[in-house]
Structure 1
Amino acid sequence: MLRGGASPAGTPRNVLCAPHPILSAVAEPVDPTDPDVVAAAADLLATLRHEPSTTGLAAPQIGLRLRLIAFDTRVHPRGRSSAGELVVANPRLAGASHWDHGREGCASIAGLTADVLRATRITVHGHLPGTGEAVTIEADAFEARCIQHQLDHLDGLLFLDRVPGALSLHRRLHSCDA
């Protein structure tokens, strides 16, 4: 099970940078109990742990066209809810409400942030890699933003695809931008 400290050891991978073609491809659904998927999830989590200012990653960002996301928003200054350190297979947005703009950045896009409209309260359903156990995540504030950002990666979208134009972009000033 890839939740908290109960995960198998993984190997950190390089994070792909835009415009790598995998970042614009739709990721494939996975069998969360498949040993290769469990190994990929462990690598995703190891990579997240290895990226000091990153709160979430999606499998396409490490070169895998798999529907896997990892996130941990516990220490982010704008966080309220926190599911902790978690990897989710085949996550899907089941509910979204209370929309607001917020600043986002991305490990795959160096030096830029933008104000992006996202729901501030969400419900996500998915499965835990390893056991295949169904999981439901109720998230708000920054954690909701982080998860939606990762879900976009699974659909081949970058946060830049959600901004209306160049005037919405900002130079990244510090590491706590999403």
Structure 2
Amino acid sequence: MRNRPIPGSSGHVRAMTLLGDPVLHAPCEPVSDFGPELAGLIEDMFATMYAANGVGLAANQVGVGLRVFVYDCPDDEDVRHLGHLVNPRLVEADGEVFRGPEGCLSLPGLEAPTPRFDRAVVEGVLMDGTPARVEGTGFFARCLQHETDHLEGGVYADHVTGWRRSRLLRAIRKEPWGGGADALRS
């Protein structure tokens, strides 16, 4: 078995894009250049995710409007899932819908019960162009759906409804970065 460097160990922590920043609320562009810049972006995204104690991070959360996300996320059986996807598409989301607590590094310090399917399948490619298919259940399925939402210009708060949404919007407006609440989809 080869020794592989820990993802993010040579990356730079980038500034986090917060709710209201236009790049966070626009669909991301497909990646067409699979060179060293993409590898550097992925390395920086891992470093940024780990520095923020996250389990997933989309490129637009660091201000880059490309279809890329990284993850280091357990499922409900505490199995660790570690990797990245380029040009991912959510191809299946099914099973039971659970309303579970969900937060976001771009809405720091907040979370809300958010409905998500218990199973998700995402297809894309790796940084070298190799096709990849990632399937997740439980918390990892939530992560996969959350990150693919980001690449479509959405955030978890877009899925929160009713009194939970009203409460979340009030909490967002109280935050120093909360001026972007109007960017949420209705």
Please, what TM-score do these two structures have when normalized by structure 1? 0.82
Give the number of equivalent residue pairs: 165
| 2:93 equivalent to 1:92 | no
Q: Aligned-pair distance for 1:79?
A: 3.1
1:84 aligned counterpart, secondary structure: strand
Q: Deviations over 1:88-122 (max 9, x none)?
A: 10111111111221111111112321111111111
**Structure 2 stretches of 5 or more lacking a match?**
172-186
1:132 aligned counterpart, secondary structure: coil
1:118 maps to which of 104, 113, 116:
116
Q: Which has the higher helix share?
A: 2
Larger RCO, structure (CA 8 Å, separation 6 or more):
1
**Cα distance between partner residues in 1 of 2:78 and 2:163:** 31
1:60 is matched with which residue?
60
Q: Deviations over 1:11-41 (max 9, x none)?
A: 1101111111111011100036222222111
1:12 aligned counterpart, secondary structure: coil
**Cα distance between partner residues in 2 of 1:162 and 1:151:** 13
1:128 is matched with which residue?
126
1:79 is matched with which residue?
76
| 2:106 equivalent to 1:105 | no
2:45 is matched with which residue?
44
**Cα distance between partner residues in 2 of 1:11 and 1:23:** 20
Q: Aligned-pair distance for 1:66?
A: 0.6
**Cα distance between partner residues in 2 of 1:14 and 1:80:** 32
2:6 is matched with which residue?
5
Please report the RMSD computed on the Cα atoms of aligned residues, expressed in angstroms.
2.4
| One-letter amino acid of the counterpart of residue 72, structure 1 | D
Percent of aligned positions that are identical = 34
Tell whether the 8 Å contact from 1:114 to 1:163 is kept in structure 2 after alignment.
yes
Seen in structure 2, the aligned counterparts of structure 1 residues 97 and 126 have a Cα distance that, compared at 3 Å, is same
Tell whether the 8 Å contact from 1:18 to 1:108 is kept in structure 2 after alignment.
yes
**Cα distance between partner residues in 2 of 1:80 and 1:48:** 22
**Structure 1 stretches of 5 or more lacking a match?**
172-178
Q: Which structure has the larger Rg?
A: 2
